[in-house]
Structure 1
Amino acid sequence: MRVSNLLIMGALSALVFTGCTNNDDNSEWLDSNSVTFNSRIDGLQTKASKDVWSNGDEVGIFMTTQTAEFANKKYVASDGGTLTAAPGQTLRYPEEGTANFIAYYPYSASLNGKTLAVSVDNQADPAKVDLLYSDNAKAIAAGEAVDLAFKHKLSQIVIAVGSDETLPDISGLKISLSGMNTQADFNLADGTLAAKESKANIEMNVSADGTTAEAIILPTTTLDGVKMTFVLDGKTFEWPVSVNGGAGFEAGYKYTYTATLSTENGKPAVTMGGASIESWTDQPGGDINVDFGEGGGEQPEGEKVLLDEKFDTNEGAFAIKNLVIPVGGNRVWAWAEYTDKVTQESEQFMKASAFINKENKPSEGWLVSPVLNLSAAKKATLTFSHAHKYGVDKAKEMTLWIADEGTEVTTDATGWTQIEIPTYGTGTDYNYVTATVDLSAYTGKNKQIAFRYISTADGAPTWQIDEVKVVADGEGGGTVEPEPEPEPGEGTVLFSEGFGTPQKGNHWPSVDVYKGWENANLVFTDPLMSGSYSNASVRSTSTLDGHVWFAAGKNSALKIEGFATDYTGLKLEYEITANGAGNQNIIKVLTDKGDVDVPDMPIVEQNKYQSVTLAIPDGASYIQFTSEESTNTSGYRIDNVSLTGIAK
């Protein structure tokens, strides 16, 4: 998921002068001292902002020598990235000494000294509203190449809009922002932006089919009073804008939301991710559930989803605490999957049971949530789906508990408070029911909830839990991810990474800039990066979902670190395939405790995965998949990487 620089590499063959070189000469011939810009822009490229030059884009350049300053010379871009001087604007190198450069986009002929007037009123073409600035090129000598590193000085909002079956057509949708300033002064001398008191509605640029919206806005340190308004077919919905983990929108950050429109009642939720300050970084911002209902309304302010666990591949953010293992068994709680033999549809869930060898066995196990930040919440609601069969007293055998953050689980439940489960299934089938529990009485602190299973020789029900969700209002909110607490002898999935859903702009995101990792607590890097970018990328195909691609003939790597290290018996599992003939051992596996031998096994079928299982040395703090240019001749794909171990 790190920072990608937006670089405009300018090969300046003639800039600044002293003595006989004349920068105010209006002649149009080019000599050996004339300036030519051959520019390149690296990093995330989008149509919504200025990340690629377009033919006719105008850039302003200031040059200061030891004796003079040449202000606001206009240079014009071509589609290929070349920046050339407008008529009468050519800059030339000084014959002696060095020069400093300042550059900005978009060019303005009506500067007030070094002050640029900025307006975000008109979003008809957001790329023309964007503001880029460079002041890194200093002490440049005659003939020396000048690299202009441009940074975004405004903020960007992008919304991916969808709808449910109640709104099959959302064309004509309008989205606006209110409560934000729209005018500012930008100081080219020091790169600072000063907003003016100019609050007005900003009409976002919405596509004709209503599925995307975007705007370039002024950075702000507070979102007090800022609202986003959705209007469709005369119905209006207002959402108080918020940023998870921050107070406002920061310069250089791109905030991406997903909005779902419906005409049914729903609970809105928004979570925001961070972003790179060097270049727009595409960050999932969260969900906005827009309920138009019977004509609109206002989404409850500050409401957030703190936990949404579906147990798709393992216990997720929950921790398993099996306190009393049934005789003849090795667990109480465990992740499970069921596939219907007729429909072939699969479902995943957490399951507790102590029915061993056709006998009820005494046991106790807890399924404990991550820490829930209820410190600033006023209201909170828990919902979960569950089903059970057998047992003799469900109110004692299958229970719900809550405690302060970090409270240990024990057989006497010291420090935990039981909460009544209002809804149980019939006990005779596995048809799920949904339980809704009010947690408002427990707000004001960080909390954890737990599902407690107890069996006896008289009764050992099978209990299945799925779709656990906690929603709260108030400022802040979210889950606090603690380090996993190992359970002696209990097999644990330390991480399982499926690489999310990568989106292709002009290029697939490379490992060093990708932000869609499924394990946000881990660190993903490429230590073999070539210059400023990685040759390993995250992509998908028409038949293969998100995976890491190691290009042929390139040195590249995927290094994963940040997982718990206090485990033994480590087992690495992953899937691999190639774009042609190859062998699974071409992609090497390295750790800080030594290299791992990958078995010699040909790739059986092009672009069809085969599984690899390896023993990883105890104590390893990272795992690295490595591709070498001399051996990778086909291009390889890695997916579904998981690491399991047994707690010491």
Structure 2
Amino acid sequence: MKNLFFAAAVAALVCAGCATEDDPVTPTPPHETPVNFSTSISKISRAMPVTGVTFAADAEIAVYGTETKSGTITPDWMSNVKLTQTDGNWTYDNPKNFKIGYEYSFVAYAPYSAALDMQTLTAVPFIVGDMAAQKDLLIVTSVKKDYSATAPKSGDQVDLTFKHALSQVMFSAVTSADYTASYEVKITNIELKGLISSGKLNFTGASGSWALDTSTADYSQSVSSSVSALSNGETATSLKSDDGVLMLIPQSPAGKDLILTLAVTAKAGGDATIAGNAKNITIKFPADDPAWAAGHAYTYKITLNLDETFGWSAGFSAPTITEWVTDDPERPITNQ
């Protein structure tokens, strides 16, 4: 009998040793479920959002979330948390759980920035830098989950549908007549003067809204050397840049200056003096030009005219307005 008790004691010790050597997964407590995220990118139309494409595999997004019970907010529950994609799933440090008895609210933006101040969600400051530093800004406003009276369901996710918070501005150009026999005409640089460069974004409404600051900046865009010489007619030459497209804070450009830098080469029969004097042309956005809205692309068609007496002049028509096409390589999610 003593041997039997001794064997049982040894077996118990062996089992205890096995338990300490293993690294068991901590079970999710009852009435809780992990906080997981799914994402999509919308193309914004005037009627309703349309599902767009997904983020790149190496994308990083940020989430700010609150957990509230009976009006009391859990301090620093999710504050500018960085999400990265791992095997198609969004992962983050210090994972959270949904719990019964609580209400949850989320906002998000992309790409992630450790420096973006999300403490006041009604006034998140944002600055559009020069072309080399420009990034797209996508946002999600007010996604809510209410588990104050019901338990969270297994597999429930926070669906983050991102919308573009900036406006795209692009240019194309033609000549008013066929000058190809006498001149090769190119636009080498486009500069927009005195545009509002910063604002504060409100994440708390149904869709984000901007409060514009008074600070302004000039935005210069070098036209790619691969862009061919301009021709006349209905088909305009797209003035692409190696740096991508301009992505600016939504605003009215009415009355602002647009400066074009020309490169004109005289051919046989052309006037070398006129060609040599073609440098900069300043034109203004029309007083009735439409204000730029978030999530839309504005393409302005410039027309260059050669007057043999006065030289070169330019003008442009009302822009063509389209949705922001996320999967178009000329309109990237990031501009780097």
With the shorter chain as reference, the TM-score category is 0.5 to 0.7
Structure 2 CA distance, aligned partners of 1:247 and 1:192? 17
Q: 2:38, 2:159 within 8 Å by CA — same for their partners in 1?
A: no
Contact 1:102–1:137 (CA under 8 A) maintained in structure 2: yes
Instruction: Name 2:67's counterpart in structure 1.
Output: 65
1:31–1:73 Cα change, 3 Å: farther
- After superposition, the Cα gap between the structure-2 partners of 1:147 and 1:206, relative to the gap in structure 1 and judged at 3 Å, is farther
Higher relative contact order (CA 8 A, sep 6+): 2
| Counterpart contact for 2:43–2:295, Cα < 8 Å | no
1:41 corresponds to 2:41: yes
SS in 2 for 1:107: coil
Q: Does residue 101 of the first structure (1) align with residue 131 of the second (2)?
A: no
Q: Which structure carries more helix by proportion?
A: 2
Rounded Cα–Cα distance in structure 2 between residues aligned with 1:51 and 1:215: 21
Uncovered stretches (5+) of structure 2, i.e. residues with no partner: 1-24, 45-51, 228-238, 264-277, 330-336
- 2:40 alignment partner, SS class: coil
1:181 has 2:196 as partner:
yes
Query: Any idea what SS the aligned residue of 1:124 has?
Result: helix
1:249 Cα offset (Å): 1.7
SS state at 1:258 partner: strand
Name the CA shift for 1:260/1:194 in 2 (closer, same or farther; >3 Å): same
Corresponding residue for 2:186? Answer: 170
Select which of 212, 218, 242 maps to 2:240: 212
Q: How does 1:262-277 map to 2 (within 5 A)?
A: 263=306, 268-275=315-322
Cα distance in 1 for partners of 2:254, 2:94 equals: 42
* Partner in structure 2 of residue 11 of structure 1: none
Q: From the superposition, tell whether residues 203 and 187 of structure 1 become closer, same or farther in structure 2 (CA, over 3 Å).
A: same
Listed one character per residue, the Cα deviations across residues 232-284 of structure 1 (whole Å, up to 9, x for unaligned) are 3471111212386x542222221112335565556634023455xxx5269xx
* 1:74 maps to 2:82: yes
**Paired residues for 1:149-160 under 5 Å:** 149-160=161-172
CA change 1:54–1:160 in 2 (3 A) is: farther
The correspondence of residues 223-372 of structure 1 with structure 2, limited to 5 A, is 223-224=254-255, 226-233=256-263, 235-242=279-286, 247-261=290-304, 263=306, 268-275=315-322, 280=324
Q: 1:81 to 1:253 in 2, by over 3 A?
A: farther
Q: How many percent identity over aligned positions?
A: 22
Aligned counterparts of 1:51 and 1:159: Cα–Cα separation in 2:
25
For the 8 Å contact 1:39–1:82, the answer to whether it is kept is: no
When residues 42 and 193 of structure 1 are mapped into structure 2, their CA distance, relative to the original with a 3 A threshold, is closer
**2-side partners of 1:237 and 1:267: how far apart?**
7
- CA gap of 1:222–1:89, structure 2 versus 1, over 3 A, is farther
Q: Read off the aligned partner of 1:40 and give its amino acid letter.
A: S
CA distance in 2, matches of 1:219, 1:106: 18
Structure 1 gap segments, 5+ residues each: 1-28, 45-49, 283-503, 507-648
**Correspondence 1:131 to 2:133:** no
Distance 1:136 1:106 in 2: 18
Q: Deviations over 1:432-479 (max 9, x none)?
A: xxxxxxxxxxxxxxxxxxxxxxxxxxxxxxxxxxxxxxxxxxxxxxxx
TM-score (norm 2): 0.59
Q: Distance in 1 between matches of 2:63 and 2:303?
A: 44
Given that 1:205 and 1:215 are in contact with CA atoms closer than 8 Å, whether structure 2 keeps it comes out as: no
* 8 A Cα contact 1:40 1:81, kept in partner: no
**What whole-Å deviation, never above 9, does each CA across 1:163-201 have from its counterpart, x for those lacking one?**
662554637x11111021112232444533222222221
Residues 36, 158 of structure 2: 8 Å contact kept: no
Of residues 152, 160, 166, the one that matches 1:148 is 160
CA distance in 2, matches of 1:55, 1:151: 19
Count of residue pairs the alignment pairs up: 241
- What value does the CA root-mean-square deviation take over the aligned residues? 3.6
Matches within 5 A, 1:105-116: 105-112=110-117, 113-114=119-120, 115-116=123-124
Please tell me whether residue 53 in structure 1 is matched to residue 65 in structure 2. Answer: no
C-alpha separation in 2, matches of 1:159 and 1:238: 15
Alignment TM-score, normalising by the size of structure 1:
0.33
Change (3 A) 1:77 1:204: farther
* Matching residue of 2:273: none
